[in-house]
Structure 1
Amino acid sequence: MSLTPLLRPLTAQLLRAGLVLVLGLPGAGWAEDAPRRSYQIAAGSLSNALTRFAGQAGVSLSVDPALVAGRSSAGLQGEFAVEEGFNALLRGSGLMLVAAGPGSYTLARQALQDDPAHVLPSTTINGQGQGAGDDAYAGGQVSRRGKLGMLGERDFMETPFSMTSYTSEVLQNQQARTLADAVANDPSVRTTNPSGGRFEQFSVRGFSLYNSDVAYGGLYGVLPTYSIDMEMVERVDILKGPGALLGGLAPNGSVGGGVNIEPKRAGDAPLTEFTALYASTGQGGGHIDIGRRFGPEQRFGLRFNGVRQSGDTEWDHQSVEREASVLGFDVRGERARLSLDVGHQQRDVDGTMERVSLNAGVKVPDAEDVHSNFAQPWTYSRAKDTFGALRGEFDVNDNLMLYGALGARKGDYDFLRHAVQVVNDAGRFTVSPRTFQREEEVVTGTVGARSWFNTGAVGHTVNLSLNRFDMTFDNSGARYRNGVSNLFDPVTLPEPGTPTRADNPTHTETVLSSLALADTLSFADDSVLLTLGARLQRVEVNSSEPGEQDQVYDERATSPALGLVWRTSEQLSLYLNYMEGLTQGQQAPETAANYGKVFAPYRSKQVELGAKYDLGSFGATLSLFRIDKPSYYTDSQNNLRADGEQRNQGLELNVFGEPLAGVRLLGGAMLLDAEQTRTAEGRFDGNRAVGAPVVNANLGVEWDLPYVQGLTLSARAIHTSSQYLDAANQQKAEAWQRYDLGARYALKLGDKDVTLRASVENVLDKAYWASANVPEGTATGLTLSTPRTWLVSATVGF
């Protein structure tokens, strides 16, 4: 059944209701001549008081978090104009309000107001509203704030988790096309499927992360399943570790970490940009980005992003055509905020690259000996996704906010592919063509409430959240006559004709629902933040196949969580967290003999201890973590089975910012000890887990040339140590390094802002096995590196 007839009237009704809420609230002052309104803001931390006031006043406040850290406010009661209210909150703080434009303000120390040498870094506070905000950390590559699901957006130093939030600025400057390009900045994340393949997949802290587990403004399952274009993205939040309390159950069970993508919003300044795109060896295209605010006090906003790019890729006989368009609409009222995002993405690939699987005992091939695309030229991938999300917030009073979100997606996918299962050291593999069709429909939503109050000297932020995720998908396909090819010397076979047999169609319905309650307690003027919470979770799965008994699961669990932040000074925060999660069980992949079997849900656990350092222009996170989860393996009959546990523990460092004027750093390192435990008869106990390198390291550098205004040079190095392909630790992919170079030049042509960019990825054109990580328990899968790639773009602002 198509979602479109259902969603169109539902979306219209919700949008109409939201507009009535924003426009028709009693006392909602839209008139320009209504300078005063009533406020009831409780005493507490100055940061929270300013945040609440800015949100209720409908203005933007930019402030260095270090300025307000540890300061308190007596609160605000009564009727005030905007500037009058700010000044009342700042009384006695040593800070003063400075106008930065229509509806926009910043703060400065009173003694430094007239000293131009003291230009303070800023963080934008838009109340409790939606959107990423203009709160970039020093250097503009990393945001100071990130989304923590039901807990809302939090400052980097006040978050009891390891999280890095990459801005649209760094994505555009690096010419990131898909999420795989964006996560290349993070040492804890690696891409585990070839570029130009059917889908993208990743590993975080050594565990698989699927695209379907990437959230869109906090909602799972809304974004395209197989690849996510970056032109629609305002910010990419990468959160390490299980996040069951924050966002509910991840649809595909990712536990090593999660990714949240924030949509673009129209800013206060009009925006019209066109970017011409080119990628070797012939992919041309363009991206248009238009943003406008309008109406009384510019409360309405529209942001449109559209991209199209097509042409041959770096791989032999492969071409890619991608296009996407997303329209975002938002309304900023006095007490209500509303947004709607609607998008469509399509991606067509001919000659899709595949992962390389090896039979037991086969020597790991030398990647340098693989010279061309070993997939057949007639293979293809066709993916279409239509999606949307409606979000709203309403301030009932100064101490209570209600919020809700509804998202939906319809996906249609059609593949003609073959596996690459190498059977001997000479590189021989059987070509077993098959078609595969999949239709997905997702409806997901959340409703919740957030309340702020004090009990004596203790502040409370209480969050209540109800989440539900419904997904229905149907799989079908057919098999064709086999052929033989070779990894080192591919043979082009005739395109498949009549199927030899049809696959049994499968129909699966999944419902993930949960109820969560959390309280963040603040002590000692917000220098200590303790979050206590739990999520009651339920997993319902019903999978049916003609001639087979239905597989039905209905599991419940309560998952506790704890997070502690101790801000010992303005520069240093220490944190601790403990998280549990219930996860939907693994589904046996198409390469397994028991393909389609859905396993029972399981629990995962994480404990993490860390420190965050903030120098104002430079930041770092150091964390020590341990994650335990059940694991799977493939037996001698090629059946996927549950067996034992995998324990990943490690040390992680992330650095970002501008330690020297004009010099920016982005990267870090992860040391990982991934061990198999409690395996059947102890046969693999103590072995390293599949696809888990001991060391990952990234270092990206940008340098603004001091003598050539507008010119920036960049370089990046990525290292991944060796990885095992099998549980017995007999097959190993060697360590690898990749080097990237780039440059950009910003200039004025008349009254137009122009930015020219050029970069080359894998500048040495090295061939290596980038990853051995695959969905847990399935056959070994080697990901071949992408050849040297040239990227060129030119952005013009109108």
Structure 2
Amino acid sequence: MRLPAGETRSRIHQPRNNDMIRSGKGRARKPVNWPVLALSGVLAGVLPALAMHAEAAQGSEESLQRPFDIPAQPLSAALLAFTRQSGLDVVVDGVLEADLRSSAIKGSYSAEQALGLLLRDSGLGFRWVDGSSVLIMRLSVPSEALELGSIGISGTLLSAHDELPPEYAGGQVARGSRLGILGNVDIMDAPFNVTSYTAQIIADQQSSSLAGVLYNDPSVRFATSDGLNAENFTIRGFDLVSTDVSLNGMYGLLPGAHVPTEFIERVEVFKGPAAMLFGISPFGAVGGAINIVPKRAGEEPLARLTSSYESDARLGLALDLGRRFGAEQRLGVRINAAWADGETGVEDQEKLRRFFSLGMDYRGDNWKLELDAYSTDQNQYNGSSLHVGFATLGRVIKAPDADTNALRGIYVDQDSEGVIVRGEYALGEQWTAYAALGKARYRYSGYLNGTRVVVLDDSGNARGQTYHQAGDYERSTAETGLQGRFATGSVGHQVVLSVSGLSWETGLADVSRSTSASYITNIYHPIYPLFPGDVGRVNRTAENTFTSLSLADTLSFIDDRLLLTLGARSQRVRNKSWNSRTLVQSADYDEARLTPVLGLVVKPWGPSISLYANYIEGLSAGQYVGDTYANAGDTLEPYQTKQVEAGVKWDAGHFANTLSLYQITKPSAISVYTAGVTLPELKGDGEQRNRGLEWNVFGQLTPQVRLLGGIAYLQGKLVSTAGGNNDGNDAPAVPRWTGNLGAEWDIPWLAGLTLDARVTYTDSQYLDPANDLELPSWKRFDAGARYTTRIAGKAVVFRGSVLNLADSNYWSGRFNDGIATMGAPRTVKLSASVDF
């Protein structure tokens, strides 16, 4: 029998090419031909080629040389990796024993050679079933007599839905990514632009926060100043706050403030709206989605200690322990602990961070159970970097030194705890039921948002005010579903039915009772700010409940060379809110929306090139209309953001490209005036349109040289604004050109030494809808090195890096209307890791 791959949870069948990870480049249409036209064009142009190629390819699979990189591991996992990298189907005659392990293979081989090496000394052989699949069976003759053929896998194996996709050549990104309810999908099978950054690049770049990882992505920019107490982002020109980042595909479970990187195995970035796949996010992000995959115990024991230094005087320690237990290694335990304290790159600012996480998993015969738990506290003392407003002055002046501490004396204390349990059970050979439940809490006290001033003149004089705040969030989330695979004639189906819910309770103190008087300072020569009195009691201010029902089907045609994904999610949004001072209820919101997805992948010339297109929507909660409008008491329906996209992915073996062309339209609330009526109405008639072109690259140019990054062109326009006053203007916080390109070079004459460098460019951008306030373009250079060796028989890695090598001072982006963020100061990082 055949085992379903990708989303099927209890089997490892890899339909032909279904889990291969490749990316590509191709020709883009002219701007007037937007991606919505691509579906018909792709079908008309390539269906004849598909039919011809399906016949011609059968004879070539046996001898085709291709790159393989499969570590020694349990044989079931190795065969899954083989199907991904070969594009063939594997069928197993019987059940694979859990203790069977594969040999490691790395290099260019034919499918026969690679499979023979994997099965060496296993007592198993194989033979071709047809031109695209192979049968694996027990041997009654010596292994040298093996005959090789096409591949597919069958029998009772561990879940492939959550099976971690293997790394791509170079180890910086993965071959696949989680697409929400669709589960882990190979890049070449995904009708979207996705990138999954690995734990290896997190370690090699010494990324201590999520922002450090996303410095590699040309479509991601930042909406908070470096050195602040939290991180917010933009993807494809739209905001994504840190609380909209998901953990294992579920919202509301990650720590507040900065997300610790020590427990992260993958950072997965999905470009574009994602409401159908992930559900509505707590704060309505529509430009993309970021998902965190936590670490699990590997097949080999791990014990690693890392010591670190960060300028100006911050020291840290991190411990990473992983081991599997039991005769069959069914129970896995992964522990991560970290501590860091000292002065940061912002002058005299200090940060203390403590973190602990536990990840456990148990692999039963036809079931699997996982648990993740964490606790962290992050404390910032004696200052912060700035957000600077220019609306009063009416123009932007030069940035101050990047290490300027304009708010000496302020602090913020933040702590978070969370736990998530996930289980799945195989219902026969093709179906799996799954369920997950999580709970998290985040508390803060201090000067979380009072970190901005408003500039008054060209000399940098500014008016400031500080806010002593306190609050907490309690979040509970759950998901359950059924997923499986079947066929109707020659058409394959991979279906998933899911029910999910998120409950989010917010408590805030009344900030009006803890706000300082305004004071005059200077952004170039700041003074100590004024401070208010103690914060008051934290009261409940909001209850949000998101529930949804979703159904999706990925249909496969012509030997999986055409994949069509159809799906829809019914999303309900309920919100109640209360005034933090009077405790009077201010809103009662209850609305629902149906959001669809349509995705297409076509492989007309074999598995190394994928043409893709999609239509997908994003959802943001509408608004309760307040007393200052003529339609007071109404509730606006959820805003539906719409994306059409088309692209090409090309995998050249060890180097991959993705070229994407897209359009996103996002509605918003605007005031609409009617003649003879005193008050305006609030309506969801506003619109912003972002059109973009992206080129992403990753992988190995040579065995010693790796590239990662890309370039993006983005045109953001305000299509409909209040009174038409800003119609046609450029959208704020949308630079036309952005680029990130990083390179690594293994020095050939000194084994173990690697040099790396990265350049980042961001074009000019506006801070306001009227386009009166423009930030200049900026570029930044980063560099680093690492040396891998052995000392006293132990593996040791020394790493060093410099962020902002030239110590440039620049405005990095936009926090809010008229408010600019500051770039990172020059920051030196050093670390040493030892396996013991």
TM range, smaller chain: 0.7 to 0.9
Partner of 2:140: none
1:470–1:512 contact (8 Å) kept in structure 2: yes
Q: What corresponds to 2:587 in structure 1?
A: 551
Is 1:354 the equivalent of 2:399?
no
Where relative contact order (Cα < 8 A, 6+ residues apart) is larger, the structure is 2
**SS across alignment from 2:819:** coil
Which residue in the other structure is 2:663 paired with?
Answer: 626
Write the letter of the residue equivalent to 1:782. A
Q: Which residue of 2 aligns with 1:605?
A: 642
Corresponding residue for residue 781 of structure 1: 819
Report whether the alignment pairs 1:383 with 2:401. no
* Superposition map of 1:63-462 within 5 A: 63-64=81-82, 68-69=86-87, 71-72=88-89, 96-99=115-118, 127-129=158-160, 133=164, 135-350=166-381, 351-367=383-399, 369-370=400-401, 373-416=404-447, 417-462=450-495
Q: 1:380 to 1:219 in 2, by over 3 A?
A: same
Cα distance 1:264–1:659, how it changes in 2: closer, same or farther (>3 A)? same
In 2: Cα distance, 1:190 partner to 1:107 partner: 50
The 3 A distance-change label for structure 1 pair 432 and 695 is same
Pairing of 1:637-656 with structure 2 (within 5 A)? 644-656=686-698
SS state of the match for residue 345, structure 2? coil
C-alpha displacement of 1:63: 3.4
What are the equivalent positions in structure 2 for 1:459-478 lying under 5 Å apart?
A: 459-476=492-509, 477=511, 478=514
- Aligned-pair distance for 1:252? 0.8
CA contact (8 A) 2:402 2:825 kept: no
* Residues 387 and 211 of structure 1: CA distance in aligned 2, closer, same or farther (over 3 Å): same
- Tell me the TM-score normalised to structure 1 length: 0.84
Question: Deviation digits for residues 446-500 of structure 1, max 9, x if unmatched?
Answer: 101111011111100011011100000111132223222111221124544478x
Change (3 A) 1:587 1:148: farther
Q: Conserved in 1, the CA contact under 8 Å of 2:697 and 2:708? A: yes
- Residue 375 of structure 1 deviates from its aligned partner by 2.9
Which one is further off, 707-716 or 315-324? 315-324
| SS across alignment from 1:681 | helix
Q: Tell me the equivalent position of 2:45.
A: none
Assess if the C-alpha contact under 8 Å between 1:59 and 1:104 holds in 2.
no
TM alignment of 1:662-673, pairs within 5 A: 662-673=704-715
Change (3 A) 1:450 1:228: same
Which of 553, 578, 586 is the aligned partner of 2:615?
578
Cα distance in 1, alignment partners of residues 352 and 366 from structure 2: 43
Match of 1:575, SS state, is strand
SS in 2 for 1:302: strand
User: Displacement of 1:55 after TM fit?
Assistant: 13
Give the counterpart letter for 1:510 in structure 2. N
CA 1:481–1:273: 2 relative to 1, 3 Å: same
Q: How far apart are residue 393 of structure 1 and its match?
A: 1.3
Tell me, yes or no, if structure 1 residue 486 matches structure 2 residue 517. Answer: no
Q: Provide the rounded CA distance (Å) in 2 between the counterparts of 1:138 and 1:303.
A: 26
Question: What is residue 510 of structure 1 aligned with on the other side?
Answer: 544
Q: In 1, distance between residues paired with 2:572 and 2:233?
A: 26
1:617 aligns with 2:654: yes
Q: Cα 1:103–1:761, aligned 2, differ >3 Å: closer, same or farther?
A: farther
Instruction: Tell me, yes or no, if the aligned pair for 1:450 and 1:463 is still in contact at 8 Å.
Output: yes
Asked whether the equivalents of residues 97 and 108 of structure 1 are also in contact (C-alpha less than 8 Å), the reply is: no
Letter in 1 for 2:292: I
2:10 and 2:426 in contact (8 A); partners too: no
- Compared CA separation, residues 41 and 548, structure 1 to 2 (3 A): closer
Question: Is the Cα contact below 8 Å between 1:647 and 1:676 reproduced in 2?
Answer: yes
Determine whether 1:45 maps to 2:15.
yes
Give runs of aligned pairs for residues 741-760 of structure 1, distance below 5 A.
741-760=783-802
The CA deviation string for residues 524-577 of structure 1, in whole angstroms up to 9 with x for no partner, is: 111111000000010000001226453011111111110111122121001111
Q: Residues 167 and 132 of structure 1: is their aligned pair in 2 closer, same or farther, counting only changes over 3 Å?
A: farther
Asked whether the 8 Å contact 2:801–2:829 carries over to 1, the reply is yes
Partner of 2:662, secondary structure, is: strand
State whether residues 718 and 737 of structure 1, in contact with CA within 8 Å, keep that contact through their aligned partners in structure 2: yes
User: What is the one-letter code of the residue matched to 1:312?
Assistant: E
Which letter does structure 2 place at the counterpart of 1:356?
V
DSSP-derived class of the 1:96 partner? helix
CA separation of 1:683 and 1:503: change in aligned 2, threshold 3 A: farther
From 567, 570, 584, the counterpart of 1:533: 567
Mapped to 1, the partners of 2:407 and 2:428 lie a distance apart of 62
Q: 1:570 to 1:310 in 2, by over 3 A?
A: same
- Distance in 2, matches of 1:747 and 1:516, equals 50
Residues 43 and 317 (structure 1), Cα distance of their counterparts in 2 relative to 1, 3 Å cut = closer
Say which SS state the counterpart of residue 337 (structure 1) adopts.
Answer: strand
Distance across 2 between alignment mates of 1:264 and 1:244: 26
**Corresponding residue for 2:720?**
678
In structure 2, C-alpha distance between the alignment counterparts of 1:68 and 1:418, rounded to whole Å: 53
**Displacement of 1:79:** 6.0
Per-residue deviation at 1:426? 2.9
- 1:149 Cα deviation after fit: 1.2
Aligned match of 2:700: 658
Aligned-residue offset at 1:244: 1.0
Measured in 2, the distance between the counterparts of 1:101 and 1:496 equals 72
How many angstroms apart in 2 are the aligned matches of 1:553 and 1:323? 38
What residue number does 1:594 align with?
A: none
Query: Structure 1 101/508 Cα, relative in aligned 2: closer, same or farther at 3 Å?
Result: farther
Q: What amino acid is the match of 2:433?
A: L
Distance 1:688 1:338, change over 3 A: same
SS in 1 for 2:212: helix
Q: Residues 105 and 431 from structure 1, CA distance in 2 versus in 1: closer, same or farther, beyond 3 angstroms?
A: farther
Distance 1:542 1:156, change over 3 A: same
Q: Provide the C-alpha distance between the structure 2 equivalents of 1:104 and 1:384, rounded to a whole number of angstroms.
A: 53
Asked if residue 728 in structure 1 is aligned to residue 785 in structure 2, the reply is no
Task: Check 1:106–1:210 CA distance in 2 against 1; reply closer, same or farther (3 A cut).
Answer: farther
Please give the per-residue CA displacement for 1:214-265, whole angstroms capped at 9, x wherever unaligned.
Answer: 1101111100122101111000000001111111111111110010010000
**One-letter code aligned to 2:638:** P
SS in 2 for 1:182: helix
* Distance verdict in 2 for CA 1:427–1:41, change over 3 Å: closer
SS at match of 1:687: coil
Q: 1:95 to 1:347 in 2, by over 3 A?
A: closer
Q: Which residue identity lines up with residue 96 of structure 1 in the other structure?
A: L
Structure 1 residues not aligned, in runs of 5+: 1-38, 87-91, 115-122, 589-596
1:211 Cα deviation (Å)?
Answer: 1.0
Equivalent pairs counted in the alignment come to 723
| CA RMSD across the alignment | 3.5
Q: Is the 2:406–2:523 Cα contact (8 Å) retained in structure 1?
A: no
How much does 1:445 deviate? 1.1
Per the normalisation by structure 2, the TM-score is 0.81
Following superposition of structure 1 onto structure 2, how do residues 703-714 of structure 1 map, counting pairs within 5 Å?
Answer: 703-714=745-756
Q: Label 1:126 to 1:602 Cα distance change in 2 as closer, same or farther (>3 A).
A: farther
Closer, same or farther in 2 for the Cα pair 1:402/1:266, shift >3 Å? same
Supply the distance in 1 between the matched residues of 2:328 and 2:453 (Cα, whole angstroms): 59
- Contact 2:465/2:529 (8 A) holds in 1: no
